[in-house]
Amino acid sequence: MAAHRRIYASLATVLALSLSACSMNHSAKTIHGENGITLPPPPQAAVHVVTDDYDGIKVEDAYQWLEDAKSPQTRAWIDEENAYTQKYLSQVKDLPQIRSELAALQRVDVYSIPMLRGGKYFFRKRLAEENQGSLYMRAGWEGQDRRLIDADKLSADQNTSAGIVDVSDNGNLLVYEVRVGGADEGSIHVLDVKTGKELPDVLPSARYMGVSLSPGDAGLYYARFTHQGTDVWLHKFGTPVADDAKVFGGEYRGEELGELDLVSAWVSDNHHWLIVDIAHGVPATREDYLVRDLRKPDSPFVPLVYGVEAHVRLADAGDRFFVMTDYRAPNSRIAEVFPNSKPADWKTIVPEGKDVIDDFSIVGGKLFVSRLHDVKTETTIYTPDGKQTGTLTYPGIGSGSVVYGRPGQTEGFYTFESFTTPMTIFRYDTKTGRSEVFAKPKVPFDSEQYEVTQVFYTSKDGMRVPMFIAGRKGQARNGQAQLLMTGYGGFDLPMLPAWNPEYAWWMERGGFFALPNLRGGNEYGEAWHKAAMFGNKQNVFDDFFAAAEYLIRNHYTSREHFAIRGRSNGGLLMGAAMTQRPDLFGAIWCGYPLLDMLRYQKFEFGRLWTTEYGSSDNPKDFAYLRKYSPYQNVRKGADYPAIMFFTGDNDTRVDPMNARKMTALMQAASGSDRPILLHYSVKGGHSSGVSLTQLVDDEADEAAFLWNETSGNSAAH
């Protein structure tokens, strides 16, 4: 198939369309927000029509020039949009109060799950008054916390974060990553814990897909992603990075490995094996695992799992290897695999059951297997040979983790959280089964005043879909409450009951929060995922719309009080909501979104997601992508709700061009007088990592917009 062609409109046509765009931009129309907010018409983006030809089907694009993030014209337009958004936010009278309330929920001491090495605990901790989490070490359970890396001092604006990557068995070497803003890329550093001095060995900023200390702590094995493919390298301490030896990549068994084949690598817990994971696509449609015996010089890579079209996740326990897989088990099973074995040789340890297996781990000689029972976590404990020995007890209904730790240790850590309960980290004794709290944040939120319920509703095609609804106990259902709903629906990711300060704040203000478990995730196994892939993507949107209709029909809220938010793949969901069912919602926050589904694969990580969405380069895929792609389905003169697009320059995963182009088009096309805004960060990105001050400011802007625009206190529209 020939690549589609770009056809530029004539100068006369461009001029005519530019004049038309002026009228579409409501040049004489005042924009009205709630609570008396008024704005002039939004900035007018220049119109330069490009026509893309998809095998004879021509699709016009007026704002393709906004794909160039570095052009002076794009930067000037971004500045105008940010100034316009600030005109709106400056009129939200209680924005300072909202910022203060969110800060109170966020500014608490928080910890990461510790790593135990050589009797020392390594973890990340951010104190309430700090902007970044620093890296700490505690010698013994009763020891004092010693700060190893002060993240607040990594940059002047405190938008640089640090995270633990690996720690040597004796606890003397700490490998950590430094990331700027919300970028996915980071640099790798090594600290001598005893002396507090940095080793001169630094891996430059890149996307690393796994970094492990080599046996004897002589260097680092690491996998580094590029758009040409991911390779595995060995860096020996004391040598230049330029001299690092490539140990894997390019091809295996005559099979070429490219950008779509994500390779990660790590050293086994007993240091006997270098393990390479090859994930074909995102999410992987096939996952291969290879091992190299590090005890034998120049030993070849041997397959543990190879050529199997299934999801596979591997864990090592000494010289034994276990996988969680949906191969011939849509709800997954746990099996033991062996070098050079075929699927027929795999030994089932925990068979498939009615509830999907969500996660597993091996700690202290025990196998912890987590299942989702109607999207609620239940974890069972087994011996490595599959004998059930007990369960892990969580303090309520919510989202609990498996126990994290090492196969040879007798203690590990697990977490529990829900919409009304902040995440608590527990220490677990594998010998006695006893749990004790390692870290519990002192959040000023009275969980006892709130409740979480689960309902089931029927989607457009008759599918039964679960949804969580949270709010204050005894709250009236009269259609007047402001309700915030979010969703995701994709990439095999289940959406579990998890703590989020913004959702808690919404409930404190008297609103409801709702999360429907849309098809596309893993809530009910791979069948639930596949029901929303490729040409089935519309099922996600229909599930979401049916959830909204249920909430309105049952008087939790009404259209004018209904706010929705989503980011990344959830941002695509927001784009579908605004273009397909603008009648259902009062306000939409669309963060780091995918919106131009005909061109997404040409930017950043986009091509890797063609295994989930498909690609417009394929005529069959083009037909369904064109049908739902938000950018191509904006209707001139439609009555759109209030919308805030949110993205940033440091989003190196979902290209910000999606939000830029959609903002320009929506502002030009909307027939309503509701605000359509772009909140464009020059520091933030797709991943976490910005300072807490920046995070709270961004969340406050989002929350203020959504709350204000669903308050229903304006007669202007």
Catalytic residues: 568, 686
Q: CB of 428 within 8 A of CB of 404?
A: no
In whole angstroms, give the CA distance from residue 590 to residue 681: 14
In whole angstroms, give the CA distance from residue 301 to residue 292: 5
Alpha-carbon distances of 467 from 38, 115, 375, 486, rounded to whole Å: 36, 35, 9, 11
In whole angstroms, give the CA distance from residue 457 to residue 451: 19
Sign of CA dihedral 150, 156, 161, 163: negative
The number of beta carbons lying within 10 Å of the beta carbon of residue 473 is: 8
In whole angstroms, give the CA distance from residue 329 to residue 310: 10
The number of beta carbons lying within 10 Å of the beta carbon of residue 401 is: 23
In whole angstroms, give the CA distance from residue 462 to residue 542: 11
Q: What is the DSSP string of 405-425?
A: S-TT-SEEEEEEEETTEEEEE
Non-local CB neighbours of 465 within 8 Å, separated by 6+ positions: 456, 457, 458, 459, 516, 517, 518, 519, 543, 546, 547
In whole angstroms, give the CA distance from residue 406 to residue 674: 54
Non-local CB neighbours of 143 within 8 Å, separated by 6+ positions: 120, 121
| Residue among 224, 245, 247 nearest 236 (CA) | 245
Residue 162, sorted as left (phi over 0), alpha (psi -120 to 50) or beta, turns out to be beta
In whole angstroms, give the CA distance from residue 635 to residue 362: 53
Sign of CA dihedral 230, 236, 242, 248: negative
Q: Pinpoint the alpha helices (H) of 112-216.
A: none
Widest pairwise Cα distance in the chain: 80
